Chain A
Amino acid sequence: MKEVKRPIKKVDGYGLVSGKPVYTDDLAPKNSLVVKILRSPHAFARIKNIDVSKAEALEGVECVLTYKDVPKNRFTRAGQGYPEPSPYDKYILDEYVRYVGDEVAVVAARDEITAEKALKLLDVDYEVLEPVLDFEKSKGSKSIIHPEDDYQSEVFVSSDPKNNIAATYEMSIGDVEGEIEKSDVVIKERFYTQAQAHVMMEPHAAYSYIDMQGRLVIVSSTQVPFHVRRILARALDLPIKKIRVIKPRVGGGFGGKQAIHGEPYVALVTLKTGKPAKVYYTRKEVFESTYTRHPMRFDVTIGADKNGKINVIDVRGLSDTGAYGEHALTTFMVAGSKVLPMYNKVKAVRFGGDVVYTNHAPAGAYRGYGAIQANFAIESAMDMLAYKLNMDPVKLREINMIREKETSPIFKIMGEGREGVDMIVRSCKLDECVEKGAKKIDWENKFKTKKEGKKVKGVGMAIAMQGSGIAKIDMGAATLKLNEDGSFNLLIGATDIGTGSDTILSQIAAEVLNVPTESIIPYSSDTDVTPFDVGAYASSTTYVSGNAVRIAAEKMKEEIIKAGAEYFEVSENEVEFDGKEIKAGERKITLKKLAEVLYYNENQKQLSTTGSYVGEESPPPFMAGYAEVEVDTETGKVDLLNYVAVVDCGTPINPNLAKVQVEGGLAQGIGMAMYEEVKYDKNGRLLTNNLMNYKIPSRVDIKKLNVELVDSYEPTGPFGAKSVGEIGIDTPPAAIANAIYNAVGVRIKDLPITPEKVLRALKEKK
């Protein structure tokens, strides 16, 4: 292999580091109207009246929109496959506002200062309603967050809006109660995970204009351009063909841009005024009015025999989707489907619960997507089980975890929103990950060393799995086009949001064609130009889009051979193509020359091929995470001294970029474990609405990350690769909690693990 399995630089790297104007706001036309959104100060209210006259009269204001001016089509902002597994519970602007930060009205003005002034001139009369701010009390509460009669939801989502339920899910295999009864050792514990903010460095941004054919063009910092087009078409009542969505470079997403956010507002302004319009969210808006991770509660019961063989896992969950049901069902199902199959030898397993509405900022997609939440609960509970059994937690995993060529019935039962697909795990080096990680952290010694003193060290571990795209649902496609100089355009719907997917997809095409990666010119994504792809989510790009690129390139190779055969006037099986030259016996022509001939001289034609791919299965990447902490018993402060992550992501296409994906994921997971928490006051107002109150890990907080990718080969992946975008985030919460227990014997069961909680637990222990 020449081009894959190589740590080449990102193809867009130089443009990024040299600060070229490549992000949405850098590119917006200078004459764009500036769009600002008035947001609700109340957690739950009905708008009785909005007086826009003063704002409209302000010099420089071009348009003011309220709920009276928007199409009344309920939709979901969630960027998912269609029909979406999320309820249609949102208008572009609604008479009801359901959280502090919800959209009330839109102003477009010639500049920012005027737009802001106009916002202040809007006079809104609210009927304040009783909000639901505690997700454990939402179900059946007197306050109904979605009383609307045009609420719509697919049957399989099992929404029950009258009871504040956005989605419900239940599954069960085997005799759960019976197996619990029969178990020698039973662990029964409750865990909580918090809302986490994405904090991608580039805030949400979009601009729009009308093109020369009268079509609406949206340029957006999005992970899902094709979903944006489809959702906008519905929300705005426009045919899909009237909308074009372009994604330039994106400054990070992590799931936070797997939805529409500012797009409908600029679009409406452009449609009303005919003028270009742009929106650039303030950091406060990003915190207050986009997405968080779904907070969840889990009641976990695990039963095992005295030798540590786990017989049964029972998980009862409750998830808080906030004001809108975006990704409600699917994140909840992933909490089960991307954790439970790791323990595939159980005799019985059950997973279920509700996803409820509250009057908090909507929860949405976020790297890990339910899996990290449940991983914390289940992997913490496993640790507790190990201690109860007096067994090494590593050993407990080794006895019970999934291995290569095995399967789990859960793969078939639980998909995302629907049934899943049966699958044998063809590549699984989890055993090797566990073993290597233990060595790297020096588990044998550190786990057992005596725990004493003011500052105590400890180690903890957790294992994780994720997926590679959503099998049988998510499709990606790629088009290759030969240029007259022998280079290729690679048009991909797959959406590079900083992950390096343009680079690795180019590497895949280059490998198949046996050309240098520099001969491939990737372009992503533009709904007019690039073929369809669901976008950057669910760890799909390397596997799903990568396979699409592989297929397109294989077809291109055939086309080149065919064109060579025509050129030499021989049959195709006499022709060879080695990446540089096309040969038939003694005769040969360079690709460059053949391309030129095809363009200008003989038998002229464009060589262009398209490959599409939808996963028949979703091969999970696996990993083992090991944390070493030092706990200050006087202050409760936890120092994360080292984090070892050993990952099976198949054969990485670009080992550097795969590794950085894991490192970035770990840091975000460490943030969730120890630092980050979205907090509200008692009226539902966000307290953590800036980067000072909402702390993400800084350079100083992240000490040592030690990532290793093990040798693995996924036969269904492109050149053996699986996806790697999410797996890195999953283990830190549990591994760190487990390490703290190992150090000082206190068990923190709700995230984040703050010094206050540790100190309180230490005091209670005494």
Chain B
Amino acid sequence: MNRWRDIPQRSDLLLQYLIDIQQRDSCISTESIQKLSTELAIPAAQIKSVIEFYSFLHTTPRGHFNILFSDNITDQMAGSRALMRQLCQQLNVRQGDPRADGRVTVDTTSCTGMCDQGPALLINNFPITRLDSKRIELIAQLIEQDTPLEQWPAEFFEINDNVHRADILLTHNTEDGDALRALLEEGAETLLQRIGDAELRGRGGAGFKTATKWRLCKQADAAQRIVVCNADEGEPGTFKDRVLLQSYAAQVIEGMTLCAGIIGASKGFIYLRGEYRYLLDSLEKELQRRRDAKLLGNNILDQQGFNFNIEIHLGAGAYICGEESALLESLAGHRGIPQKRPPFPVTRGYLGLPTVVNNVETLMTACQIASHGSDWFTDKGTRQSAGTKLLSISGDCQQPGIYEYPMGTSVSDILIDCGADGPQAVQIAGAAGQTLCHREFKRKIAIEDASTGGSFMVFNRHRDMLDMVQNFAHFFAHESCGFCTPCRVGSTLISNLVDKLYTSHATQNDLRDIERIALVMRHASHCGLGTTASNHILDTFNNFPDAYQRRLRSTEYTPAFDLDLAVCEARAITGRDDDDAHIVCPPQEGFKP
């Protein structure tokens, strides 16, 4: 069970130990915390703070079956909420509360990256996709019969790649070791130059030039360097990294090894989001296969001193851990709190060592450029955005899945290809990205225009855009790491105000507040989560004002909560029901001159 049993106790593995304990015991008990505290010489309070930070870790048992419904807007559009209610009813549980017999808990979680085959859920960290009423019924039966997961129907756990459009990246696959042989034959400088000539930019969202990042890290003065593959893929609506890790892992790992060879790193990590734990075994096998083939480990391809080892670390349900400085904190076993920059990870990253953090797709692309040459890549795309980009398309379209397009492809062409029927909006680059309306469909996917890490969610004209806004507002309030005030407080205020609007209690006043808070968050937050968390609000304010206006109360002001209901507990405790034990709510509040 314990993946780390043979390794001497390392404090940087704290999070990994906690994940193992959680998986084994369905919670992390006080005794486990005490034991870890003694073994690792970490104060118990610090361990508890780590447990509290990660959504997948708990100090009280979650039950034998821990079920988390993916709660992305695309899951909701496919009916996830009704299915969850059905399951709760059949199992006789309340959402979030473990059943009294300790059998099962049913709850929600942020997007699990199965948007093209949703609605989806995680059961003890393994995904079940394509949920429908029949499947839910079967799941309820299996749980009541206490059938071990291994004996559940295998088709429940099938995950499809759903690649609908492949271009050079997904078709011109390299053979094992091609990129590494190129490195050994032509030398690090030539290869770095090649990646630079290919104008490869990071595929994780920020679009930083990959060769520049590698060179800065190579030049940093240090005895050890680190390569990290960012496989956190937490942006709602993104799932292309999952497909690469499932079906193209060899080239991703070779990309990491290539980077290590170029910059002189001997240690690497794959930071795999907890939601993708099901990929762990196949990735470990792939690492072993490559070690056996001398493509990884010591003296790679018999080159004396070319040593590179990779460890896989799991995340535990925290979107912020995709942000690179938070990711590095998480790798070190801490809470994932974004760090001040500079210093950037390329000079001071994992445990203070120069570190390259790259997205999964970036690493795979680098591997291919090494063997196919830079022209192979620059032949596609635009002048500022070379090559192709993987898009994860979901929502209202006939063929959700993975589409690889040359950079510069227009949104409207993509909408036609995926079979979008009457689209009114596309959310690109995930919850943190932009909401494009009909007028903007001629824009192009490229760094200089509509930039995206790969998420592409389609909304047809029958959708209420406020559903999306509410979903994202809740998402950010939940995922804010809490470190800085504008985002910690702002995201919750916005989420509450959007709820007020959603239930038609908000007034013009509240809209002004939402906008003001959104702008403060954008300008004053510490990291990218906070600065982008209100994009969807400000975009939809502009593009879809009707979604807001039609829900407004005409009054200037209405209270934020039901006043009379707020006295219900005191009434029950004192047994009073006289007039003074109630608060009458007049229809119109506010100053009347």
Do A and B pair up? The answer is no
Residues of A participating in the B interface, judged by any CB pair closer than 8 Å = none
